[in-house]
Amino acid sequence: MTPITRPLHSLRRRLVITILLCWVVPIVMIVALAGYLLRANYENEMTRRLETDAAYTLQQLEAQLGTAFADSKSVSYDGVVRTAYRAWQQDGDNAALYRSVNEYLAQSFGREERYKAVFISFWDEVGIYPYVMSSGISGYSLPRNYHRSTEPELLDAMRDADTAIRFFTVDGDLYIARNLLDNRFQPYATVVQLVDGEHLLGVLDALPEKTRFVLDSLEMDRSGLRQLTAEPTETYDYHFAGDLPDHTLTLDASLAPYDIFRDMPWLRDAVLAVVLLVLPLLGVMILLFRRHVTRPVDVLVDATSHLQNGERGYQIEARPMSREFQRIYEHFNSMSAELKNQFERSYLEQQALQQARVKALQSQINPHFLNNTLEVINWEARLSGNERVSAMIEALSVMLNAALDRDGRGQIPLREELGYVDAYLYIIRERLGERLRIEREIDESMLDEPVPRLILQPLVENAVEHDLTARRGGLLSIRARREGDYIVLEAEHDGTLTAEDLERVEEMLSSSVTDTAVSGQVGIRNVKQRLDLLYGRDGSLILCQSGADHVLARVRFPAAK
């Protein structure tokens, strides 16, 4: 089953988006929260103000209408018009009736600014039309239009009104009408007050644009007055009721949609100032982020590409501006150098092994043929009963197999390495006899520990060839022990090191693993090279004077885990 892999996104892109969100989202949230709180505060304040203004406006309207009602009632209560009408019934003098009624209207309403005009309409055909107009109204068109078009319709509507006050609107004008009754409580005339609409509707100035009054069946707003013939299509958010006896008076209003920047222009300037302040800060943040994060990350990505392309040991030369990336760079450089050293060490180890094999082969003439020849000689010695020669040939064959390393194993158990040492010493003891004394101090628990091939035998060979053979014998001590996590192999023998020997040893042990100036075959130098390649600083070789007449050769390297 093939796993589903998601596409990888740029870290830089994600972090830039994160920075933008960390700046933009809080600002948007703050502005939104401020707008919400301001809107709520505005609505609360406007609602409270509307309630106060509506109550005051209704009070003003009630006062104005109450005054108009009182004025219409005073015409009936004063009895001037009724007395003049009775006199007319007796003498039929139209002029006296007109004069009496007009004088009364002029005295009672001539200075009232709330009325454009006040009319007295008689129900009988008296042939006169008393009226009075406000001081600001002139001409005859107003009374003439009233008597021609308005009066017939109005009187017809007032037939069943008794003494109730009714409201009418004609061409946008508001009329307040009330019947006048005689002693038999029969209507003989109607007093009609033409209200000044501008004076009446002036109270709307303190209220919202969308406001109306409903007075009985009349609707009034800033556009004027009109008769209600059906339910209104517009809806209002707030409704207030007035206290007007025998009449309904309501005020409907809706607040204008809240526009925070229209109602508070300073807020627009504040938001603009915040944006102008935030944008440079955002730019600085992105610049700092690019300098301190994205560029060092790009350097690391480029460095890993160099490693991937085979440039082992590639070093980052750039110097970041933060301690964290400086440490990362140092760790990368250290890791890259270590990778190069390990690769070269492994390569040089294989090269050294190959050189050792080549040199071993060069020191022989066709080793495979020699090995086969030794096998034939060994069989001949056995057939002739010469066991000593046969044993020496077998020991030599073991040494030859160790040098050839046919199985290619770089490490072998300690017991096998000791077998190579025993094979070599068998041959040497045939030369030196009992004069060569061997002591062993071997930790039996270490026999299966893996050690580098031919790591101890060259030390033993060096001791024999340089001192013991010259002395024609002596004591050779072979030791193997564990020191903590390290394995220590030693070969100590009778002998001395001259100043010339010590100088040559120091030159050999301090030379680089790639230095070929110091000649030698598979011996002390090869052991030193292999320890350096396999273990670096953890591996060591010491060749020194351990006593007045003793020379010590010691190798020390980490045990396998």
Q: Label residue 518 by pLDDT band (50, 70, 90).
A: very low
The answer to whether the CB of 427 falls within 8 A of the CB of 395 is yes
pLDDT number for residue 7: 54
**Residues in contact with 480: Cβ distance below 8 Å, sequence separation at least 6, in sequence order:** 414, 418, 441, 442, 443, 446, 456, 487, 488, 489, 490
Specify the pLDDT at position 488: 94
- DSSP string for residues in 396-459: HHHHHHHHHTTT--SEEEHHHHHHHHHHHHHHHHHHHGGGEEEEEEE-GGGTTSEEETTSSHHH
pLDDT value for 32:
74
Q: Which amino acid is at 266?
A: W
Residue 268's pLDDT is what?
72
Q: What pLDDT, on a 0 to 100 scale, did the predictor assign at position 11?
A: 59
Domains of the chain plus CATH, in order, are: 44-254 (3.30.450.20), 264-342 (no CATH), 343-558 (3.30.565.10)
The pLDDT of residue 377 is 64
Give the closest residue to 526 by CA, choosing from 506, 536, 504, 541: 541
Confidence at 549, pLDDT banded by 50, 70, 90: confident
pLDDT digits (tens, 9 = 90+) for 387-410: 666 666 666 666 666 666 656 677
Structure tokens at 29: 């949230």
Span 254-281, pLDDT tens digits: 877 766 666 667 767 777 777 777 778 7
Q: How many residues does the chain have?
A: 561
- Residue 30's pLDDT is 75
In this prediction, residue 554 carries a pLDDT of: 93
Q: How far is the CA of 48 from the CAs of 45, 70, 251, 255, 428, in angstroms?
A: 5, 33, 15, 11, 120
More reliable by pLDDT, 355 or 365: 355
Q: Look at residue 232 in the predicted model and tell me its pLDDT.
A: 62
Residue 456 makes CB contacts below 8 A (sequence gap 6+) with: 417, 418, 420, 421, 478, 480, 489, 491, 555
Distance CA 169, CA 452 (A): 123
Chain-wide mean pLDDT for the chain? Answer: 78
Question: How much is the pTM?
Answer: 0.46
pLDDT(533) > 60: yes
Q: Angle 202-208-210 (CA atoms, 0-180°, nearest 5)?
A: 95
- The answer for residues whose C-beta is within 8 angstroms of residue 513's C-beta and 6 or more apart is 348, 352, 528, 529, 532, 533
In tens, the pLDDT along 427-452 reads: 787 777 788 888 999 999 999 999 99
State yes or no: pLDDT of 168 exceeds 80. Answer: yes
Long-range contacts of 506-509 (CB under 8 A, 24+ apart): 509/541, 509/543
Q: Residue for token digits 């740029």?
A: 10
Strands (E), 159-299: 166-170, 173-181, 187-195, 210-215, 218-221, 224-227, 238-241, 249-254
Are the C-beta atoms of residues 524 and 550 closer than 8 Å to each other?
Answer: no
pLDDT digits (tens, 9 = 90+) for 455-493: 898 888 888 887 777 667 788 899 999 999 999 999 998
Alpha carbon distance 272, 275 (integer Å): 5
- pLDDT tens digits along 181-201: 888 888 889 999 888 766 666
60 vs 118, residue with greater confidence: 118
Task: Name every residue whose Cβ is closer than 8 Å to that of residue 245 and which is 6 or more positions away in sequence.
Answer: none
Residue 165: which residues within 8 A CB-CB, separation 6 or more?
69, 72, 176, 177, 178, 246, 247
**CA torsion through residues 296, 301, 302, 306, sign:** positive
> In this predicted structure, what is the pLDDT of residue 128?
84
Window from 238-242, 336-340, 430-434 with minimum mean pLDDT = 430-434
pLDDT category of residue 230 using cuts at 50, 70 and 90: low
> Average pLDDT of 166-174?
81
Comparing 426 with 558, the larger pLDDT belongs to: 558
- For the chain, the first-to-last Cα distance in angstroms comes to 37
